[in-house]
Structure 1
């Protein structure tokens, strides 16, 4: 994986060309990595996925009910866990 120091004169075209060749390039500022340019993996749907009908918005409307307590604020300890706290 190449590491490239961010400079105003760095050619983005060269970095994209590297990604097209299958290389990953890490952009760094000083010693700190700040971004990564990676090749996009093209995917094709599996036979099972291709056989699924298209998704329809509202298809489940009225079929799922939530208890009113679902919308209550979370307790502080649980909220901290969701927010990445200890």
Structure 2
């Protein structure tokens, strides 16, 4: 769809919804296209996405380090 600048200012919300629905919205000055309204892809974050897919035991971050690991961590070696 191509609209004039005046029409775009008047109907901006409707044009944004059209772009979100996948329609190409072009703004023209007279008959010359000068801008395009495009939707920004929205990613959906899902909590627990890998639940049931990860196998085995993970590291125990609360377990104390051994003396050797601690020495490596502190740069003593």
Q: TM-score scaled by structure 2?
A: 0.47
Structure with the greater alpha carbon radius of gyration: 2
Q: TM-score scaled by structure 1?
A: 0.42
Higher relative contact order, structure no. (Cα contacts within 8 Å, ≥ 6 residues apart)? 2
